[in-house]
């Protein structure tokens, strides 16, 4: 079988996003795949949008009927447990929200972005947090992946959620 990778298209719609953030994306996605022992089964593509609160609010309103911005939105285009190939989906990030959360949580911006990218990509892969069991499963995967990226456990200070 051929060794496929994921082609990642990054669109910076807001100049406040540091350019080096785009450079880290391939490593983060590759770490998710290796950690979860997943294989890309054919040519695959993922699209990332680095935008702002205004555009993110419009996306959130259009797709989730929520009239507010949010840190990350995922739009999967593959079904859970199916082959990882083709157009996998889109993930968008709101700069102001990501920045404010990193500041409030006293975390490096790059670490918080990496966590949100992992979280968003897990949604693309079919993970969710609608039930407590699903949330625990997803958070366990996030912890394991982030540890491999030398990023502190983002849930360490949370008692119950």
Binding-site residue numbers for Zn(2+) are 119, 123, 129
Burial profile 139-161: b = 16 or more Cβ within 10 angstroms, e = fewer = bebbbebbeebebeebeeeeeee
- Binding region: 119, 123, 129
Q: What is the 3-state secondary structure (H, E, C) of 119-147?
A: HHHHHHCCCCCCCHHHHHHHHHHHHHHHH
């Amino acid at each position: 079988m051929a060794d496929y990778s994921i082609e990642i298209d990054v669109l910076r719609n807001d100049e406040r996003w540091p350019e080096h953030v785009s450079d880290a994306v391939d490593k983060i996605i590759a770490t998710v795949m290796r950690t979860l022992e997943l294989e890309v089964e054919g040519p695959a593509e993922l699209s990332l949008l680095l935008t702002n609160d205004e555009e993110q609010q419009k996306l959130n309103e259009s797709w989730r009927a929520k009239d507010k911005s949010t840190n990350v939105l995922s739009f999967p285009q593959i079904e859970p447990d199916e082959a990882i190939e083709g157009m996998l989906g889109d993930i968008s990030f709101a700069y102001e929200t990501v920045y404010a959360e990193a500041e409030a949580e006293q975390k490096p911006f790059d670490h918080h972005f990496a966590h949100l990218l992992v979280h968003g990509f897990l949604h693309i892969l079919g993970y969710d947090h609608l039930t407590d069991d699903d949330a625990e499963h997803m958070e366990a995967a996030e912890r394991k992946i982030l540890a491999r990226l030398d990023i502190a456990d983002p849930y360490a200070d949370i008692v119950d959620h």
